[in-house]
């Protein structure tokens, strides 16, 4: 707010205020009568009533304030009210505010223009007269959409048909500046699905353009992850290579499930399925991997398989259990053995599921304590099972851990991890398309 707005609010006789006006601001109204005139969507007939009421009070010679959120002249009907009053001979002063279109992205540290990325900015509405998406003409490098939620899929379709690429990054920010503010970062092809999964509610702004990528800039930032012993070194290395400051905490180690593996190795299999590098390492002493056709989930698993001599490797297009199942259903793979984690949530249909290793906790309380003490800018959640294990193992400290995670920008490596996080009330800000840290850290 400007100082002028505060001064006028203090001396007003009547204040007509909207739904989105922050109650904190009403504290400046010390003597005036406060009249709530907030409209719900589709209640536009109320506007005539508001116009008349403003006129009536002003005509009595009172100082009337029409208090709106953001800037009154940006999608706020300021122009219509001004016109109504001026044509009836009422003096009107406009006191500009901070429009949510600019202030909300700013609070999230998203630059709307940037010398290298964006030299133009367009602010549009996602809701036109009658409720449909307006036909915007040419769009700038950065586009900010107000009222985007109600028509989100149509808004995205229109952005795409207006020339934006489906990989264009975007951020959806709900309740900016408030204590319950939420933000998700995605791209145009995934934002609708992701926003439905996490559940974003209005008021929100959608920011579209390369400038949003700055939210995934690791340089100089603290990047935390809870990992199995075998992955700690590699994770640190990847974070460092991306310019981040690694805070990688070991919380468990894996031990090959020797009995299971020995028994399975004595049988005939045509295809082996590996969901993680841990599975590969556990199986490597029991199976001659070059002899089998192998299905690998994710680039990291494939890397580990190559190290252990596998050659006939297939990587499903879709990640996770769903991708493997789809592949198995559509091909001829004979007898299939899937090496699984004891923390796995879903079985793979069409394969024998074998617990390939045991997970032993290595004092996660210590790791959590350190994380709580130092905090982080990013928290990367790599596995649903591991997340649940860590939360369970710290018992009473788990609400604190959840709170601390929510203070950082939380990244999940896939839908299953996102769902597990949401079940534990951890808000996910970004969901990686592939469960692969290497791809994640090459995003910028």
Ligand X SMILES: C[S@@+](CC[C@H](N)C(=O)[O-])C[C@H]1O[C@@H](n2cnc3c(N)ncnc32)[C@H](O)[C@@H]1O
**212 CB-near residues (< 8 Å, 6+ apart):** 110, 169, 170, 171, 185
Binding residue count for ligand X, defined by CB under 6 A: 22
Q: Which two tokens stand for residue 233?
A: 């070194």
Q: E-assigned strands of 158-244?
A: 169-174, 182-187, 204-208, 222-228
Please identify every residue annotated as catalytic: 18, 39, 147
Quick one: 15 or 104, whose CB is closer to ligand X? 104
Rounded to a whole number of angstroms, the distance between the first and last alpha carbons of the chain is: 35
Position 184 contacts ligand X (CB under 6 A): no
Nearer to ligand X among residue 70 and residue 256 (C-beta): 70
Cα separation of 183 and 214, whole Å?
14
Q: Of the listed pieces 110-118, 171-179, 262-270, 334-342, which binds ligand X according to CB under 6 A?
A: 171-179
Give 227's strand partners.
250
Of the residues 12, 112, 121, 146, which one makes contact with ligand X according to CB under 6 A: 146
Closest CA to 227 of 418, 89, 381: 381
Residue 418: CB minimum distance to ligand X, A: 22
Are 292 and 273 within 8 A, CB to CB?
no
User: Applying CB under 6 A, does 177 fall inside the site for ligand X?
Assistant: yes
- Choices 64-72, 251-259, 304-312, 363-371; region in contact with ligand X by CB under 6 A: 64-72
DSSP 65: E
Give yes or no for residue 68 binding ligand X (CB under 6 A): yes
Q: What are the two backbone dihedrals, phi and then psi, of residue 404, each rounded to the nearest 5 degrees? A: -65, -40
Rg, the chain, Cα only? 27
Q: Which residue lies nearer to ligand X by CB, 69 or 278? A: 69
Contact in structure between 326 and 297 (CB atoms under 8 Å): no
Of residues 328-387, those binding ligand X (CB under 6 A):
none
Whole-number minimum distance, CB 441 to ligand X, in Å? 30
Which CB, 69 or 383, lies closer to ligand X? 69
Q: Which stretch binds ligand X (CB under 6 A): 46-54, 188-196, 201-209, 222-230?
A: 201-209
| Residue 357 CB burial class (10 angstroms; 0-12, 13-18, ≥19) | buried
Shortest spacing between CB 110 and ligand X, in angstroms: 13
- Please choose, out of 67-75, 260-268, 274-282, 363-371, the segment that lies near ligand X by the rule CB under 6 A: 67-75
156 makes contact with ligand X (CB under 6 A) = no
Which residue number, 106 or 350, has a Cβ lying nearer to ligand X? 106
CA angle 71, 73, 74 (to 5 degrees): 70
Q: Which of residues 16-35 bind ligand X (CB under 6 A)?
A: 20
User: Which span sits near ligand X by CB under 6 A: 52-60, 175-183, 192-200, 221-229?
Assistant: 175-183
Residue 25 parent element (H or E): helix 23-26
Residue in 14, 64, 69, 413 binding ligand X, rule: CB under 6 A: 69
Which of 62, 114, 157, 175 touches ligand X by CB under 6 A?
175
Q: Does 203 bind ligand X (CB under 6 A)?
A: yes
**204 contacts ligand X (rule: CB under 6 A):** yes
Q: Where are the beta strands (DSSP E) in 2-110?
A: 14-17, 33-36, 64-67
Candidate residues 37, 76, 84, 379; the one interacting with ligand X per rule CB under 6 A: 76
Instruction: List all residues 6 or more positions away from 400 whose beta carbon is below 8 Å from its beta carbon.
Output: 372
Which 33-62 positions form the footprint of ligand X (CB under 6 A)? none
Nearer to ligand X, 32 or 74 (CB): 74
Residue nearest to ligand X (CB): 70
To 5 degrees, how large is the angle CA 6–CA 10–CA 12?
110
Binding mask 97-126 for ligand X (x = CB under 6 A): --xxx--x----------------------
Largest Cα–Cα separation, the chain: 95
> Could you say whether residue 205 binds ligand X (CB under 6 A)?
yes
Residue the block writes with tokens 């007003």: 12
Positive or negative torsion for Cα 81, 83, 85, 90: positive
Residue 286 is classified by DSSP as: T
Nearer to ligand X, 146 or 440 (CB): 146
Binding part of the chain for ligand X, among 72-80, 287-295, 323-331, 376-384 by CB under 6 A, reads 72-80
> 205 or 252: whose CB is closer to ligand X?
205
- b/e per residue 252-278 (b: at least 16 CB within 10 A): bbbebbeebbeebeeeebebbbbbbbb
Residues within the interface to ligand X (CB under 6 A): 20, 68-71, 74-76, 99-101, 104, 146-147, 173, 175-177, 202-205
């Amino acid at each position: 707010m400007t100082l002028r707005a505060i001064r006028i609010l203090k001396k007003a006789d009547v204040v007509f205020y909207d739904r989105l006006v922050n109650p904190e601001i009403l504290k400046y109204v010390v003597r005036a009568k406060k009249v709530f005139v907030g409209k719900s969507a589709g209640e536009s007939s109320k506007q005539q009533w508001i116009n008349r009421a403003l006129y009536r009070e002003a005509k009595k010679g009172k100082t009337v304030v029409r208090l709106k959120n953001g800037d009154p002249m940006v999608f706020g009907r300021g122009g219509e009210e001004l016109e109504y009053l001026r044509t009836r001979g009422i003096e009107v002063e406009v006191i500009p505010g901070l429009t949510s279109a600019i202030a909300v992205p700013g609070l999230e540290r998203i630059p709307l223009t940037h010398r290298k990325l964006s030299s133009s900015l367009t602010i549009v509405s996602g809701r036109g007269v009658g409720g449909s998406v307006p036909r915007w003409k040419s769009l700038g490098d950065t586009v900010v959409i107000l009222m985007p939620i109600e028509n989100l899929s149509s808004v995205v379709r229109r952005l795409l048909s207006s020339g934006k690429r489906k990989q264009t990054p975007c951020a959806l920010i709900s309740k900016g500046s408030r204590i319950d503010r939420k933000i998700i970062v995605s791209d145009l092809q995934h934002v609708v699905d992701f926003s439905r999964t996490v559940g974003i509610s209005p008021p929100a702004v959608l920011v579209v353009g390369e400038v949003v990528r700055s939210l995934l800039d690791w340089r100089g930032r603290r990047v935390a992850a809870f990992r199995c012993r075998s992955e700690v070194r590699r994770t640190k290395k990847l974070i460092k290579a991306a310019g981040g400051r690694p805070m990688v905490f070991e919380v468990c180690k894996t031990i090959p499930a020797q009995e299971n593996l020995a028994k399975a190795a004595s049988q005939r299999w045509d295809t082996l399925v590996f969901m993680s590098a841990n599975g590969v390492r556990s199986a490597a002493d029991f199976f001659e991997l070059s002899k089998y056709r192998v299905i690998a989930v994710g680039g990291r698993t494939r890397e580990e398989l190559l190290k252990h001599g596998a050659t006939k490797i297939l990587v499903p297009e879709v990640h996770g259990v769903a991708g493997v199942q789809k592949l198995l259903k559509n091909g001829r793979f004979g007898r299939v053995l899937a090496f699984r984690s004891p923390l796995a949530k879903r079985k793979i249909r069409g394969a024998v599921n074998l617990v390939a290793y045991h997970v032993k906790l290595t004092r996660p309380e210590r790791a959590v304590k350190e994380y709580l003490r130092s905090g982080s800018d990013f928290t990367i959640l790599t596995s649903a099972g591991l997340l649940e294990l860590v939360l369970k193992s710290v018992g009473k400290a788990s609400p604190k851990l959840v709170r601390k995670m929510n203070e950082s920008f939380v990244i999940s490596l896939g839908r299953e991890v996102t769902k597990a996080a949401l079940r534990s009330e951890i808000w996910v800000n970004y969901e990686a398309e592939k469960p692969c840290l290497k791809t994640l850290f090459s995003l910028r």
